[in-house]
C-alpha cells in the first residue's frame, strides 16, 4: 500500500533514491521495481534486515530492471551517512510525526538532495489524527509514538523554511481512517473486537483485490477523511554567480 503517488512524483531509471525511515520498505520496493538506485534507511535494525531479505528476493525473482540497485542500512535521520547532494529523490513517509527535531531532519534531507531533486513527505492528516488522539491516549502516548499532529499549512511552511519549493499535495488512505478510529475506540491493542476484525478484513480484501467500487469510494473520500497528507517539493538550483 503506497502513500506516495508516483504519477505525481515520477521516477526515472537510475535515479538515486533515499527512502528515509523506510520501515517495512513499501516505497523502497516500488522504487526498486521502477529501476532506481535505492537506499532504504531506518534506525530499526530488525526491519532493515527484513528489507534486505526482500531486496534479495526481488532481485532473484527478476522484479527489478537491469541497472537497478538496492541497499538496506541502519542509520540516524539526524546524521545521515552520505555526502552532500548524494540523491536525486528523497522519500520520508509517516516518520516526521515521531521525531522531536523535525527541522533537523528536513535540513539533513535538503543537504543530501541534489539541486533540482525531488522530495516526498507524508504525515498523518490533522483531522483524522486528532480523532485518534481524542479517542485514545494509548494511540500516541507510547515510546516512539506520534508526538505532534501537523496541519497542512504548518508542514508546508516548514518545508519552505528548509529551502524547498512545494509543488503539489493531496490526501490518501481515506478507508483507513475509520479502521484506526475503531482501533482507538475499542483499544489499540484489542484486535479481537468484532468491528475491528470485520473492518480489517475489508481493508485486506481491498488491498488484495483493488475493486473498482472501493477505489472510487476512496478517491471521493480522500479530500474529506484521507488518513495521510502528502506533500511534494523540489530543491531549487542556486542562483548562478558570475565570476568578477
Q: pLDDT digits over 139-174, tens only?
A: 998 888 899 999 999 999 999 999 999 999 999 999
Mean pLDDT of 98-114: 97
80: left (phi over 0), alpha (psi -120 to 50) or beta: beta
Per-residue model confidence (pLDDT) at position 240: 54
pLDDT above 70 as % of the chain: 98
Ramachandran angles phi, psi of 143, nearest 5°: -60, 125
Mean pLDDT of 195-200: 96
Per-residue model confidence (pLDDT) at position 239: 65
- Longest CA–CA span in the chain (Å) reads 74
Alpha helix locations (H) across 148-187?
A: 152-161, 176-186
How far, in Å, CA of 130 to CA of 136, rounded?
10
Q: Under a CB-based contact definition with an 8 Å cutoff, are residues 114 and 90 in contact?
A: no
Q: Under a CB-based contact definition with an 8 Å cutoff, are residues 170 and 222 in contact?
A: yes
Q: Under a CB-based contact definition with an 8 Å cutoff, are residues 180 and 200 in contact?
A: no
Per-residue model confidence (pLDDT) at position 143: 81
pLDDT above 90 as % of the chain: 93
Average pLDDT over the chain reads 95
Checking if the pLDDT of 242 tops 60, the result is no
Checking if the pLDDT of 244 tops 60, the result is no
The three-point CA angle 149-152-153 to 5° equals: 115
How far, in Å, CA of 29 to CA of 57, rounded?
11
Tell me: the pLDDT tens digits for 120-146?
999 999 999 999 999 999 999 888 889
Ramachandran angles phi, psi of 93, nearest 5°: -120, 120
pLDDT band at 243 (very low <50, low <70, confident <90, very high): very low
Mean pLDDT of 207-220: 94
Side-chain half-sphere CA neighbours of 113 within 13 A:
29
| Residue owning grid cell 484506526 | 180
Amino acid at each position: 500500500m503506497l502513500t506516495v503517488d508516483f504519477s505525481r512524483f515520477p521516477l526515472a531509471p537510475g535515479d538515486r533514491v533515499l527512502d528515509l525511515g523506510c520501515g517495512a520498505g513499501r516505497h523502497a520496493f516500488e522504487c526498486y521495481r521502477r529501476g532506481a538506485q535505492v537506499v532504504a534507511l531506518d534506525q530499526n535494525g530488525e526491519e532493515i534486515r527484513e528489507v534486505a531479505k526482500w531486496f534479495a528476493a526481488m532481485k532473484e525473482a527478476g522484479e527489478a530492471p537491469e541497472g537497478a540497485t538496492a541497499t538496506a542500512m541502519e542509520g540516524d535521520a539526524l546524521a545521515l551517512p552520505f555526502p552532500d547532494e548524494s540523491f536525486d529523490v528523497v522519500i520520508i513517509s509517516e516518520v516526521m510525526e515521531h521525531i522531536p527535531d523535525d527541522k533537523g531532519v528536513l535540513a539533513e534531507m535538503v543537504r543530501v538532495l541534489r539541486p533540482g531533486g525531488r522530495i516526498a513527505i507524508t504525515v498523518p492528516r490533522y483531522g483524522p489524527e486528532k480523532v485518534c488522539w481524542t479517542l485514545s491516549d494509548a494511540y500516541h502516548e507510547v515510546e516512539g509514538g506520534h508526538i505532534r499532529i501537523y496541519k497542512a499549512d504548518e508542514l508546508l511552511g516548514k518545508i519552505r523554511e528548509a529551502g524547498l519549493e512545494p509543488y503539489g499535495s493531496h490526501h490518501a488512505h481515506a478507508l483507513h481512517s475509520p479502521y484506526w478510529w475503531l482501533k482507538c475506540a475499542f483499544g489499540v491493542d484489542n484486535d479481537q473486537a468484532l468491528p475491528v476484525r470485520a473492518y480489517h478484513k475489508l481493508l485486506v480484501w481491498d488491498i488484495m483485490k483493488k475493486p473498482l467500487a472501493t477505489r472510487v469510494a476512496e478517491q471521493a473520500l480522500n479530500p474529506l477523511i484521507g488518513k495521510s497528507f502528502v506533500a511534494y517539493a523540489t530543491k531549487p538550483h542556486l542562483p548562478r554567480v558570475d565570476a568578477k
